[in-house]
Amino acid sequence: MTQSPSIEVVVDATLATTVAAGDHITKGQPLGHDPDSGHTTTSPTNGTIESITFDANNHLFRIRIQTKHGQSHP
């Protein structure tokens, strides 16, 4: 059985992410909000949140999403 590919999405860490590790998510679902730009970061793919880590040097959350087989993403 092959492992689904995973992608990383970063969101500003000022506000919490709107998802947690283990969540199943759909393409377009909000992942986090950047109060700085007013921009809401959304998931580029369907999949499962594999992990969320805090990047202290850049003050970002790094969200790793395991994509579903056959799902296209940028």
Partner 1 sequence: MRYQSTHGRIVLSVILAATWLTSFVQAASTKPTTQPQRPPTLRPMAFDYGDPASSVNDISFYVPPDSTKPYPMVSPSRETTNVIFMIGDGMGVAQVMLTRLRATGRAGRLHMERMPCVGLVNTCSANALVTDSAAAGTALACGTKTHNGMLGMKPNGDRFISILEAAAKKGRRTGLVATSAIAHATPAAFSSHVEARKMGAAIAEQQLANRVNVMLAGGKAEWIPQSQEESRREDDRNLLAEAQQAGYLFVDTKEKMFAAMGDYVLGLFQINALTTQEPEPTLAEMTQKAIQLLDEGCHRSDADKGFFLMVEGSQIDWACHANDPHKCVRQTLLFDQAVKAALDFAMKDMNTLVIVTADHETGGLTINGANFRKKRINIVWTSKGHTALPVPLYAFGPGSTELCGVYDNTQIAKRIAKRWAINPFPRKLK
Residue ranges binding partner 1 (CB under 8 A): 12-20, 23-26, 29-30, 35-38, 46, 48, 52, 54, 56-59, 61
Comparing CB distances to partner 1, the nearer of 8 and 15 is 15
Query: CA nearest 39: which of 7, 74, 72, 14?
Result: 14
* Shortest reach from residue 74's CB to partner 1, in Å: 20
User: How many other CB atoms are found less than 10 A from the CB of residue 20?
Assistant: 9
Q: How far is the CB of 2 from partner 1 (least distance, A)?
A: 19
Shortest separation between residue 73's beta carbon and partner 1, angstroms: 16
How wide is the angle at C-alpha 29 spanned by C-alphas 60 and 62, nearest 5°?
20
